Homo-oligomer: A and B are copies of this chain.
Amino acid sequence: MTSSRDAASAAITATVTSSRALLGIVAQSMSGALEELSLVQFRLLVVLDSSGPQRMGDLATALGVHASTLSRTVDRLESGEWITREVSPESRREVIVAVSNKGHGMVAEVTRTRRRAIAAVLQGLDPADREAVRLGMTLFAEAAGEPSAPDMLTLGL
């Protein structure tokens, strides 16, 4: 007979294997961006793109880096016109950073590429299997919950 432990283990192994494939897709989708930006810079762009305009200090906290480190990274991104940096209308000692159109376009491009790559994989399945993937992925995502921001930052995502 097959024990429930074997069944659980099979699910784990399948998930690990699948995570490798998914990781490959994610990495590949980022390769274009990483020709123009460092991983750290791209990470900043993603955070800013998803959270909206931020004060320097808050952004430094969100990224877990020193304010001076952020200031330099923002220098570089600004000179590449990926982001904008403006004195806050609220307080002249605060500086608000926001993604530029160019910056948003890059993030969107990566997202689009990722989605397209996943779509291409699913294309290779018949509808019933595709539905099985949808179900499995949905169940897993629900059980896992949202990844924490600090976790994602480890890999610069």
Contact = CB atoms under 8 A, between A and B. Distances in A.
Interface stretch (A68-76, A79-87, A90-98, A118-126): A118-126
A22 B24 contact: no
A143 B20 CA distance: 13
A144 B24 contact: yes
Contacts of A152: 20, 23-24, 27
Given A21-B141, A26-B23, A30-B155, A12 B127 contact: no
Given A18-B22, A19-B25, A25-B147, A132 B135 contact: yes
Contacts of A66: none
Contacts of A58: none
Chain copies in complex: 2
Contact of A22 (B22, B115, B145, B156): B22
B124 A14 contact: no
A7 B26 CA distance: 22
A11 interface: yes
Given A23-B155, A25-B144, 19 more contacts: A4-B127, A7-B127, A7-B131, A10-B134, A15-B137, A18-B137, A18-B144, A19-B118, A20-B141, A20-B147, A28-B147, A31-B151, A39-B39, A39-B155, A129-B143, A134-B136, A136-B140, A137-B137, A137-B140
